[in-house]
Amino acid sequence: MSVSGNLISVTFTSEEFQQLDEAIRKIEQIIAGKMSNLSQEERKQFGRIAEQNKLFVNKAKSYMEEYPQHVPPFVDKAEFDRDYEARKLIESRLQQRLDFLS
Protein backbone atom coordinates (compact mmCIF):
# COMPACT_ATOMS: atom_id res chain seq x y z
CA MET A 1 0.00 0.00 0.00
CA SER A 2 1.47 3.34 -0.96
CA VAL A 3 0.98 6.49 1.05
CA SER A 4 0.55 9.71 -0.81
CA GLY A 5 0.13 13.25 0.32
CA ASN A 6 1.72 15.28 3.02
CA LEU A 7 2.29 13.05 6.05
CA ILE A 8 3.53 15.83 8.30
CA SER A 9 2.19 19.34 8.31
CA VAL A 10 3.69 21.69 10.86
CA THR A 11 2.84 25.28 11.41
CA PHE A 12 3.84 27.62 14.21
CA THR A 13 2.28 30.88 15.21
CA SER A 14 4.47 33.94 15.67
CA GLU A 15 3.74 33.64 19.42
CA GLU A 16 5.02 30.05 19.41
CA PHE A 17 8.19 31.15 17.62
CA GLN A 18 8.66 33.87 20.24
CA GLN A 19 8.23 31.27 22.99
CA LEU A 20 10.77 28.99 21.30
CA ASP A 21 13.24 31.86 20.91
CA GLU A 22 12.84 32.81 24.57
CA ALA A 23 13.36 29.21 25.70
CA ILE A 24 16.53 28.99 23.59
CA ARG A 25 17.78 32.30 25.03
CA LYS A 26 17.24 30.94 28.56
CA ILE A 27 19.29 27.85 27.72
CA GLU A 28 22.04 30.02 26.23
CA GLN A 29 22.10 32.18 29.39
CA ILE A 30 22.53 29.11 31.59
CA ILE A 31 25.30 27.70 29.39
CA ALA A 32 27.10 31.02 28.79
CA GLY A 33 30.43 31.08 30.57
CA LYS A 34 30.45 27.34 31.18
CA MET A 35 31.76 26.41 27.75
CA SER A 36 34.99 27.32 26.04
CA ASN A 37 35.29 28.31 22.42
CA LEU A 38 38.28 26.41 21.09
CA SER A 39 40.44 27.71 18.30
CA GLN A 40 40.92 25.59 15.18
CA GLU A 41 44.34 24.55 16.48
CA GLU A 42 42.89 23.56 19.86
CA ARG A 43 40.14 21.57 18.15
CA LYS A 44 42.80 19.62 16.23
CA GLN A 45 44.84 19.11 19.39
CA PHE A 46 42.03 18.00 21.71
CA GLY A 47 39.60 16.41 19.27
CA ARG A 48 36.16 15.52 20.48
CA ILE A 49 34.34 12.78 22.29
CA ALA A 50 32.88 10.72 19.45
CA GLU A 51 30.96 7.52 20.11
CA GLN A 52 34.04 5.27 19.90
CA ASN A 53 35.98 7.62 22.21
CA LYS A 54 33.22 7.46 24.82
CA LEU A 55 34.02 3.77 25.31
CA PHE A 56 37.66 4.70 25.93
CA VAL A 57 36.72 7.50 28.35
CA ASN A 58 34.29 5.24 30.20
CA LYS A 59 36.98 2.56 30.55
CA ALA A 60 39.53 5.12 31.74
CA LYS A 61 37.04 6.37 34.36
CA SER A 62 36.42 2.80 35.48
CA TYR A 63 40.16 2.14 35.84
CA MET A 64 40.73 5.39 37.72
CA GLU A 65 38.02 4.45 40.19
CA GLU A 66 39.22 0.88 40.57
CA TYR A 67 42.93 1.78 40.78
CA PRO A 68 43.19 5.35 42.12
CA GLN A 69 46.87 4.83 42.88
CA HIS A 70 47.53 4.64 39.14
CA VAL A 71 45.86 7.92 38.17
CA PRO A 72 48.60 9.93 36.45
CA PRO A 73 49.59 13.15 38.21
CA PHE A 74 48.63 15.27 35.19
CA VAL A 75 44.97 14.17 35.54
CA ASP A 76 42.85 16.17 37.96
CA LYS A 77 40.44 13.37 38.89
CA ALA A 78 37.93 15.70 40.57
CA GLU A 79 37.79 17.89 37.45
CA PHE A 80 37.56 14.80 35.24
CA ASP A 81 34.58 13.57 37.29
CA ARG A 82 32.81 16.95 37.06
CA ASP A 83 33.34 17.10 33.28
CA TYR A 84 32.27 13.48 32.86
CA GLU A 85 29.07 14.00 34.85
CA ALA A 86 28.22 17.24 33.02
CA ARG A 87 28.70 15.55 29.64
CA LYS A 88 26.57 12.60 30.71
CA LEU A 89 23.72 14.82 31.96
CA ILE A 90 23.75 17.12 28.92
CA GLU A 91 23.86 14.18 26.50
CA SER A 92 20.94 12.44 28.19
CA ARG A 93 18.85 15.62 28.01
CA LEU A 94 19.72 16.18 24.36
CA GLN A 95 18.95 12.55 23.53
CA GLN A 96 15.56 12.80 25.25
CA ARG A 97 14.74 15.87 23.12
CA LEU A 98 15.89 14.15 19.93
CA ASP A 99 13.79 11.09 20.79
CA PHE A 100 10.81 13.36 21.37
CA LEU A 101 11.28 14.98 17.95
CA SER A 102 11.56 11.70 16.06
Give residue 2's pLDDT. 56
Contact call for residues 49 and 57 (beta carbons, < 8 A): yes
Give residue 3's pLDDT. 58
Instruction: Read off the pLDDT of residues 48-86 as tens digits, 9 standing for 90 and up.
Output: 778 888 899 999 999 999 999 999 999 999 999 999 999
Give residue 37's pLDDT. 83
Q: Where are the domains of the chain?
A: 14-101
Give residue 26's pLDDT. 94
pTM above 0.95, yes or no: no
Distance between CA 6 and CA 91 in Å, rounded?
A: 32
Contact call for residues 49 and 87 (beta carbons, < 8 A): yes
Instruction: Read off the pLDDT of residues 1-54 as tens digits, 9 standing for 90 and up.
Output: 455 677 778 899 999 999 999 999 999 999 888 888 888 998 888 877 788 888
CB proximity list for 63: less than 8 A, separation 6 or greater: 70
Q: What share of the chain is helix, strand, coil (3-state, %, to 5)?
A: 70, 0, 30
